[in-house]
Each structure stands twice: as structure tokens, then as C-alpha cells.
Amino acid sequence: MHGLGILSSWSGNLDKNNITGLTPYSDYYNYQFFGFYENIFDRYVKFVRNNEKSTWTNYTYQLNMAVANGTSFNSYSEFVTAVKSSTQWKYAEYALTSATTDASLYFTPAEDTSWNEDIELESGLNPFKSGSSICHVSQKLNTTSDFLLTWSREPGITLEESIQIGGNYSSPIGPRIYLY
């Protein structure tokens, strides 16, 4: 949903060459680690694992126990090795699985929102594609009034045609996205 200024902090940046897990933004500066931090958007991303709905905020909390805040390292590589060899790395692996398993990520901004009101996020791209996965709505919404924030559009179809295909809603920003 970054087209509306909403962006997930979760990415494969920690192990870019061989993504085995996703983490939120890591505050690593001058050979010191100061924690993992998520964007406000991430606090409302829910994932489904074993038919249970949970938040990524819990994963951020778990990953922050991998390495103590303020720990110094000799190199970034040493930091990455410490995080990936911790028992908490499994949460980064779970996050990657969720981000690449269709219908496993949802955006729910209100605690009392029902499953029917969640917006399915793009989690069907495998391998994970930073900038396309998570921060867009599911490609399944391409033919609905909430089509605008899918990661890919059908070539040659105009905005007006997409609005018609989606049910002639009065705006390219569909009703569910508009509410969020």
C-alpha cells in the first residue's frame, strides 16, 4: 500500500544474497545493534499460521531477543551471523513463509474488525519480492473496486476500464482501501 504512503519495514535485507528469513528494519549503526523496528503499518498486518491469526509485532518482539540491544560487533557480517544463529531466527523464517504463502497476510487496522473486513495482502509471490510482496493488496483484488493497490496491472487496460471491471465504483481508490 506504499502508493498511499504506507510501507512495510519487513524485508530480506538482512541476508540479501540468500533470503532465508524476513526482518523489520534493523537499527545497526557504527558496528552496534540497537534493535529491530517496524513501521506503523506493520502493527496492523496479521498473518495466518496453523489456522491462527497473529501479528507481526510479536515477531518483532521475538527477533529483538536474538541479540541484546547495544551489542557491538566487529562487522555487519558478524551481526547477521549472530541473528541467524539465534533461536529467534525461526520467527524471521516464519515471516518469510507467510509472505510467500498465498492468502496468509491481511491488513486489519482495527482490533474489532472481522475477517470479512480484512484486506488480503500480496503473499502469493514466490520467491519473495521486496516492494511487491506485503505492501500491496492481493492480486486477487485486480477485478474488484480495490484494484488500484495490486502490485501489477493488466497491460493495455485503462484506468476507466479497470473501474468498470471493478464494478463502477466512483473512484480508483476502492471502498475498503479508502476506509483504511
Cell of 148: 488500484
Q: How many CB atoms lie within 10 A of CB 16?
A: 10
Lowest-pLDDT range, 39-48, 52-61, 80-89, 130-139? 130-139
> What gap in Å lies between CA 8 and CA 1, rounded to an integer?
9
8 A C-beta contact, residue 125 and residue 132: yes
DSSP-derived 3-state class of residue 119: strand
Q: What angle do CA 99, 105, 111 make, to 5 degrees?
A: 145
Position with higher pLDDT, 173 vs 58: 58
Residue matched to cell numbers 471493478: 166
| 92-151 per-position pLDDT tens digit | 999 999 889 888 888 776 666 554 667 778 777 787 777 666 777 766 666 676 666 766
Q: What is the mean pLDDT of residues 45-49?
A: 83
What residue segments make up the domains of the chain, in order of their start? Answer: 2-136, 140-180
Angstrom CA distances, 64 to 35, 47, 49, 125, 155, stand at 6, 19, 21, 27, 42
**pTM for the complete prediction?**
0.80
8 A C-beta contact, residue 6 and residue 135: yes
8 A C-beta contact, residue 178 and residue 148: no
8 A C-beta contact, residue 153 and residue 123: no
Q: How many CB atoms lie within 10 A of CB 54?
A: 14
Distance of alpha carbon 58 from its chain centroid, rounded? 14
